[in-house]
Amino acid sequence: EPSFFPAIQVFRALGARVIGIPADGRGMRVDMLEQLLLRYRPKLVYTIPSFQNPSNIEMELERRKKLVELSHKFKFIILEDDAYAGLCYEGQQLPALRSMDSDGYVIYLSTFSKSVYAGLRLGFIVAQKQVVKQFSAAKQVMDLHSNSVSQWVVERFIVEGKLDSHVARLCSEYRKKRDIMHEALSMRCIRGMEWNRPKGGYYFWLKLPQGVSASRLVTAAAAKKVVFVPGKPFFTNGQGDDYIRLNFTFASQKDIKEGIGRLCEAIAELLDGHREMDISQEFEIKPIV
Amino acid sequence: EPSFFPAIQVFRALGARVIGIPADGRGMRVDMLEQLLLRYRPKLVYTIPSFQNPSNIEMELERRKKLVELSHKFKFIILEDDAYAGLCYEGQQLPALRSMDSDGYVIYLSTFSKSVYAGLRLGFIVAQKQVVKQFSAAKQVMDLHSNSVSQWVVERFIVEGKLDSHVARLCSEYRKKRDIMHEALSMRCIRGMEWNRPKGGYYFWLKLPQGVSASRLVTAAAAKKVVFVPGKPFFTNGQGDDYIRLNFTFASQKDIKEGIGRLCEAIAELLDGHREMDISQEFEIKPIV
């Protein structure tokens, strides 16, 4: 963790006990996972190894290998979510976990939501036949099958060879937008703000200066017509109120610059308010909201 | 019962105890429901009052009123599945249960799968705001939202006033096909076959002659390239092997005639086999399949 919160919601809705694995700049802390495996013996480990949502981190090769090894040793399923496959803005993307596994411990899933169009609601899995059969049966009970029109559109798109050139176009566009957001953040940077420059994917994962909470910033930024997702839902344990997730692929280049300006204004204002409070109040009290 | 078996599957998958309510030519036996209500106090009653799947029966007005009354008295939710709304080939369709309820006991659901195109996978509900909110939240966890392209297509279709004329066209086409299937069945009728002429919907619900089981007929008919759904899955209690469901909307007029011919051939052959067995065997033994 942090991780894609709708996944956390789904696992919880199904009655699973969800335990977050800490991560750093090189991806999931696989060493810490090993300790947790011994203790909890989980059935499934969910991970987004490439351009993780929300942290944009790419899990390094050594950790990928180690993770697949662990799945064999401890007999658990890895659910590899590769939603941002192909959206790599620098160098080569690292191989998928699924490509390192020959015994069916990895269930690979991806989507056309990021590479083609989210409104299609179309994804796919790569897994052992048995698993695919069971998933199909479960899907039949839920919605019979995915929308046929979407499937035809995407099938045509792939067969005509247009998907690859489309993704290449997206990459050059998103790379530019990433650079613009990175520059805007650097220019307007406030002491205590931390972030990295994403190699791929959709998001900046921004640490806020001490004293600025994401949940209060949401309201302040919304007043300036800037929206983002606050960090808390991405954690399993209530942490994360010092983080926000910023999307850099949707807004126009102009709006990105303007938006980051307004966001940093809102942060600065909250920070001033916080300092004033610090001075004016000897004891910390709960603000009346 | 009988009823739409994917609904039965969904309820069971969610851990519900499913109890079938008997039905006759005028719809659900609401009098028998009342006895069962006293005994089981169910949370939800699922019903397809109009052109029921598979029986094509239209629940009569008096029973509709009584059912809605009972929901108020015993405080249960009615899930009204109106998939075949508008596909009425004679006279007027009876009012929906939802239209008789002003206190939110009826959740109405329907689909564009039958009236527009099944591949859209698009349906809708009419219910109290609170219920819609909870359903939306659950749907968000499942698939975020329905396919946008489908929604745009159908929205345009409705706004431009084309849905009504399309349904009218379907009705006249399906009425013709229904008549052709009815005639073909009447012409080729084998003693012991029973069915009614559907007022609406998609299906004939055919009772087979004694001695012909639907599960054996499936194989025999498939050899003649005729397929249908056998009756058993539509029941909650293992009954129904003497029924089959025939769709009359999909095949061409020519294929309907030809198909019913072949189906009746297969029935006749099974019936002959059954009679021979009766003669040749003094004691009934399990056939080796």
Q: What is the pLDDT of residue A140?
A: 87
What is the distance between the terminal CA atoms of chain B, rounded to a whole angstrom?
30
For residues A60 and A93, the answer to whether their CB atoms sit within 8 Å is: no
pLDDT digits (tens, 9 = 90+) for A227-269: 999 999 999 989 999 999 999 999 999 999 999 999 999 999 9
Tokens found for residue A90: 């620098």
Residue B256 to residue B260: CA distance in whole angstroms? 6
Q: What is the pLDDT of residue B284?
A: 45
User: Mutate which of B53, B122, B149, B156 to disrupt the A interface (most A C-beta within 10 Å)?
Assistant: B149
Q: Could you tell me if A133 and A71 lie in one domain?
A: yes
Q: Could you tell me if B236 and B155 lie in one domain?
A: no
Q: Which helix (H) or strand (E) holds A24?
A: strand A23-24
- Worst-scoring range by mean pLDDT, A5-9, A214-218, B28-32, B159-163? A5-9
Portion of chain B with pLDDT greater than 70, in percent = 95
Crossing angle for the helix pair B253-280 and B162-187, to the nearest 10 degrees: 40
Q: Could you tell me if B143 and B254 lie in one domain?
A: no
Q: Above 90 in pLDDT, residue A84?
A: yes
Q: Could you tell me if A176 and A266 lie in one domain?
A: yes
Portion of chain A with pLDDT greater than 70, in percent = 95
Please give the mean pLDDT across all residues of chain B. 93
Alpha-helix runs per DSSP H in B188-227: 214-223
Q: Has residue A143 been placed in a domain?
A: yes
Portion of chain A with pLDDT greater than 90, in percent = 86
pLDDT digits (tens, 9 = 90+) for A156-170: 999 999 999 999 999
State mean pLDDT over A132-137: 94
Q: Which of A6, A13, A150 sits opposite B147 (nearest CB)?
A: A150
A145 to B121: CB separation less than 8 angstroms, yes or no:
yes
More confident residue, B14 or B284: B14
Tokens found for residue A250: 């949707």
B14 reaches A (C-beta below 8 A): no
Q: Could you tell me if A195 and A108 lie in one domain?
A: no
| Chain A residues with beta carbon closer than 8 angstroms to that of B153 | 149
B141 reaches A (C-beta below 8 A): yes
Q: What is the pLDDT of residue B277?
A: 65
State mean pLDDT over A198-220: 96
- Total length of chain A: 289
B16 CA: distance to closest CA in chain A (Å):
15
Q: What is the pLDDT of residue A273?
A: 84
Q: What is the pLDDT of residue B142?
A: 84
For residue B111, give the DSSP letter. E
Q: Has residue A287 been placed in a domain?
A: no
Q: Bridge partners of A229?
A: A245
Q: What is the pLDDT of residue B144?
A: 86
Please tell me whether the interface predicted TM-score (ipTM) of this complex is above 0.90. no
pLDDT digits (tens, 9 = 90+) for B100-127: 998 999 999 999 999 999 999 999 999 9
Q: Which of B212, B221, B213 is nearest to B266 (CA)?
A: B221
| Chain B residues with beta carbon closer than 8 angstroms to that of A135 | none
Q: What is the pLDDT of residue B274?
A: 74
A150 to B149: CB separation less than 8 angstroms, yes or no:
yes
Residue of B nearest to A146 (CA): B121
A6 CA: distance to closest CA in chain B (Å):
6
State mean pLDDT over B242-266: 97
Work out how many domains chain B is built from and give that number.
Answer: 2
Cis peptide before B54 (omega within 30 of 0): yes
Q: Which residue has the tokens 């792939």?
A: A158
Q: Which of B142, B145, B149 sits opposite A142 (nearest CB)?
A: B142
Kindly give, in sequence order, each residue whose CB lies less than 8 Å from that of residue A168, ignoring residues fewer than 6 positions away: none
For residues B248 and B203, the answer to whether their CB atoms sit within 8 Å is: yes
Q: Could you tell me if B168 and B83 lie in one domain?
A: no
Domain end marker among B159, B179, B208: B159
* Residue A191: CATH number of its domain: 3.90.1150.10
Q: What is the pLDDT of residue A282?
A: 46
Q: Has residue B289 been placed in a domain?
A: no
For residues A144 and A151, the answer to whether their CB atoms sit within 8 Å is: no
B259: amino acid identity, one letter? G
Q: Could you tell me if A186 and A112 lie in one domain?
A: no
Q: Has residue B205 been placed in a domain?
A: yes
Q: Has residue A165 been placed in a domain?
A: no
A14 reaches B (C-beta below 8 A): no
Q: Which of B201, B190, B175 is nearest to B253 (CA)?
A: B175
Q: Above 60 in pLDDT, residue A280?
A: no
Q: Above 60 in pLDDT, residue A81?
A: yes
Residue of B nearest to A11 (CA): B141
Domain end marker among B92, B126, B159: B159
Kindly give, in sequence order, each residue whose CB lies less than 8 Å from that of residue A9, ignoring residues fewer than 6 positions away: B141
pLDDT digits (tens, 9 = 90+) for B79-93: 999 999 999 999 999
Q: Which of B121, B146, B147 sits opposite A144 (nearest CB)?
A: B121
Q: Has residue A286 been placed in a domain?
A: no
Q: Could you tell me if A275 and A218 lie in one domain?
A: yes
B120 to A147: CB separation less than 8 angstroms, yes or no:
yes
Residue A224 to residue A265: CA distance in whole angstroms? 9
- Cβ–Cβ pairs < 8 A, chains A and B: 50
Q: Which residue has the tokens 């019979």?
A: A144
Q: Above 70 in pLDDT, residue B271?
A: yes
Q: Could you tell me if B115 and B193 lie in one domain?
A: no
State mean pLDDT over B192-215: 96
Q: What is the pLDDT of residue A72?
A: 96
Q: Could you tell me if A107 and A243 lie in one domain?
A: no
Q: What is the CA radius of gyration of chain A?
A: 21
* Residue B46: CATH number of its domain: 3.40.640.10
Q: Could you tell me if A23 and A85 lie in one domain?
A: yes
Q: What is the pLDDT of residue A190?
A: 93
State mean pLDDT over B173-198: 96
Q: Above 70 in pLDDT, residue A283?
A: no
Residue of A nearest to B9 (CA): A141
Q: What is the pLDDT of residue A278?
A: 58
Q: Above 60 in pLDDT, residue A286?
A: no
A119 reaches B (C-beta below 8 A): yes
Kindly give, in sequence order, each residue whose CB lies less than 8 Å from that of residue A180, ignoring residues fewer than 6 positions away: A248, A253, A256, A257
Domain end marker among A139, A159, A179: A159
Q: Could you tell me if A128 and A239 lie in one domain?
A: no
Q: Above 90 in pLDDT, residue A143?
A: no
A123 reaches B (C-beta below 8 A): no
In B, residues 153-212, which contact A (CB 8 Å cutoff)? Answer: 153
| Chain A residues with beta carbon closer than 8 angstroms to that of B18 | none
Residue A258 belongs to domain spanning: 170-280
